[in-house]
Structures are given as C-alpha cells and as structure tokens.
C-alpha cells in the first residue's frame, strides 16, 4: 500500500484555484493600468471612427474637393 502523502494538500490546492480565479484581470491591477489598457485604445478607436465618419460625410456631400 502507498503511504506517501499527496503532492499538495487538498485544501491548499483548492485555495490556489480560488486565488487563480480571483486574479483574472491582473493587467488592470494598478491605478494607471486601467487607463493605459482601456483608455488609450478607446481613444484611438473613437478618433479613427470620427475621422472615417467625417471623411464619408465630406465625400458624400462633395466638401473639400480639389478644383
């Protein structure tokens, strides 16, 4: 019969899994991490969408055509 103890105690294993599920968003931990990983991409998307929309509007209304 095997009397060797398991690799990790069962309670510690469950605790580890619990903590791993807790810290899912580790890239948003710091104060300024949320700004850099959410705010900057949002600003880029918003400005590019605005520029695309302005270009479509100007094109469809004939604004800014070169003579």
Q: What confidence score (pLDDT) does residue 37 get?
A: 83
Q: What confidence score (pLDDT) does residue 31 get?
A: 74
Q: What is the mean pLDDT of each run of 10 residues along the chain (67 residues)?
A: 59 58 61 82 96 96 88
Q: Using CA atoms, how far apart are residues 33 and 35, in angstroms rounded to an integer?
A: 5
- 31, 49, 47, 58: CA torsion to nearest 10: -170
Whole-model pTM: value is 0.52
Q: What confidence score (pLDDT) does residue 12 get?
A: 62
Q: Using CA atoms, how far apart are residues 25 and 38, in angstroms rounded to an integer?
A: 12
């Amino acid at each position: 019969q095997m009397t060797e103890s398991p690799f990790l105690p069962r309670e510690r294993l469950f605790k580890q899994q619990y903590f791993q599920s807790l810290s899912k968003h580790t890239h948003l931990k710091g104060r300024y991490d949320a700004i850099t990983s959410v705010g900057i991409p949002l600003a880029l998307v918003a400005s590019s969408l605005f520029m695309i929309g302005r270009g479509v509007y100007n094109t469809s209304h004939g604004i800014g055509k070169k003579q």
